[in-house]
């Protein structure tokens, strides 16, 4: 039986209410994090290109590529939770650099100039993934030169920039949520369901490799905990998951069935998928489609290698535990699809 936590109630939260900027609050995790911070009594401002509409928070609209907009957004803030990023499996390297690297650099400089004292950099375990399986690992070092794909490489560079800025008066924590999913997810869940309904969702090999994931409410609670624990946790990178590794085929089937879509019923050898992914990337580079490519080398690697992590240090440092189990999360997802 999992316990429901609507808003973290820590000693740090009780002792000091923070004026927080949340970037990227129009996304599922950003929105949920902003809602959690409001519920915990913090003064919340959100920053993104379109209104986030988070009740109890004020919107500040703009792009990370606009230094003036970033400066306005951080004015009067004590703390930043930085989620905004270009998230995709394809696209020109320059677009990722502008948003993920230079945007983070701009935000860090503006935050320090404005007197911000706590900064949570929302990163990804892919920054330390170099192609092989990750089995019971902690957060390894970010490796921009060896990470796979433009997203992972630029997120790795951004994480290093953030951690290099850490100091006595500017506490930086890097948090790497792994495979965040839940109701309203337009990334992982929506793409799984769309492809499952169209019969275009294969399993690579036997779908038996173990992967960690994290339900969105748990990820949001971990980010709030990282913000409130920043003075104690600063300078560290922490992977956040539910701590319940599942066979990737079972996880995909659970999400598909929750949405009323069929579970994957056909298999493709991982080696063949990687070759096909490379060919698709080459075609997309010349004639990009309107949607994400159906397969890339990075995606094939992610679907065919194990990714699960030791969560003991994360939970000890953040004084956080996941409140919603994978099974309960799937049940909530199914209820969401029944309602909508």
Query: Can you tell me the distance from the alpha carbon of 258 to that of 252, in angstroms, rounded to the nearest whole number?
Result: 10
What does the pLDDT read at residue 13? Answer: 45
Judge whether residue 214 has pLDDT over 80. Answer: yes
pLDDT tens by residue, 42-68: 999 999 999 888 999 999 999 999 999
CATH of segment(s) 13-249+299-339 = 3.40.50.720
b/e 262-296 (16+ beta carbons within 10 angstroms → b): ebbeeebebeebbebbeebbeebeeeeeeebbebb
Query: Can you tell me the distance from the alpha carbon of 158 to that of 320, in angstroms, rounded to the nearest whole number?
Result: 25
What does the pLDDT read at residue 4? Answer: 39
Cα of 321 vs its chain's centroid, Å: 17
Q: Which residue has the higher pLDDT, 109 or 188?
A: 109
CA proximity to 218, closest of 194, 246, 195, 239: 239
What does the pLDDT read at residue 105? Answer: 98
Domain boundaries, the chain: 13-249+299-339
Number of Cβ within a 10 Å radius of residue 67: 16
DSSP annotation string for 254-304:
HHHHHTTPPPP--EE-HHHHHHHHHHHHHHHHHS--SS--S--HHHHHHHH
Strands 246-247, 210-211: pairing is antiparallel
Tokens standing for residue 176: 């790497």
pLDDT tens by residue, 134-158: 777 888 888 888 888 888 899 999 9
Query: Is 119 within 8 Å of 171 (Cβ atoms)?
Result: yes
Tokens standing for residue 137: 């690992």
Query: Catalytic site residue 151?
Result: yes
For residue 189, give the 3-state DSSP assignment. Answer: helix
């Amino acid at each position: 039986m999992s316990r429901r936590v609507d808003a973290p109630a820590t000693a740090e939260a009780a002792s000091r209410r923070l004026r927080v900027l949340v970037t990227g609050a129009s996304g599922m995790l950003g929105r949920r994090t902003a809602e959690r911070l409001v519920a915990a009594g913090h003064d919340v401002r959100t920053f993104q290109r379109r209104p986030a509409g988070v009740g109890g928070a004020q919107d500040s609209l703009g792009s990370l590529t606009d230094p003036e907009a970033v400066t306005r957004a951080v004015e009067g803030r004590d703390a930043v939770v930085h989620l905004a990023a270009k998230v995709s499996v394809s696209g020109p390297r320059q677009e990722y650099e502008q948003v993920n690297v230079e945007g983070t650099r701009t935000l860090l400089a503006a935050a320090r100039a404005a007197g911000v004292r706590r900064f949570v950099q929302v990163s990804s375990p892919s920054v330390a993934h170099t192609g092989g399986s990750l089995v019971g690992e902690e957060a390894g070092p970010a490796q921009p030169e060896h990470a796979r794909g433009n997203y992972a490489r630029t997120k790795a560079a951004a994480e290093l920039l953030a951690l290099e800025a850490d100091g006595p008066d500017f506490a930086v924590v890097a948090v790497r949520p792994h495979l965040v999913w839940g109701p309203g997810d337009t990334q992982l869940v929506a793409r799984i369901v769309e492809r499952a309904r169209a019969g275009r969702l294969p399993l690579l090999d036997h779908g038996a490799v173990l992967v960690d994931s994290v339900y969105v409410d748990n990820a949001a609670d971990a980010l709030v905990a990282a913000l409130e624990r920043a003075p104690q946790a600063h300078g560290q990178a922490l992977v956040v998951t539910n701590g319940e590794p599942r066979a990737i085929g079972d996880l995909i089937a659970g999400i598909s069935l929750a949405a009323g879509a069929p579970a994957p019923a056909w298999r493709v050898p991982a080696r063949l998928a990687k070759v096909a992914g490379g060919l698709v990337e080459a075609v997309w580079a010349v004639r990009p489609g309107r949607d994400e490519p159906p397969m890339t080398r990075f995606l094939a690697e992610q679907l065919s290698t194990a990714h699960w992590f030791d969560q003991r240090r994360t939970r000890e440092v953040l004084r956080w535990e996941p409140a919603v189990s994978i099974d309960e999360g799937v049940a909530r997802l199914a209820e969401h699809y029944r309602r909508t």
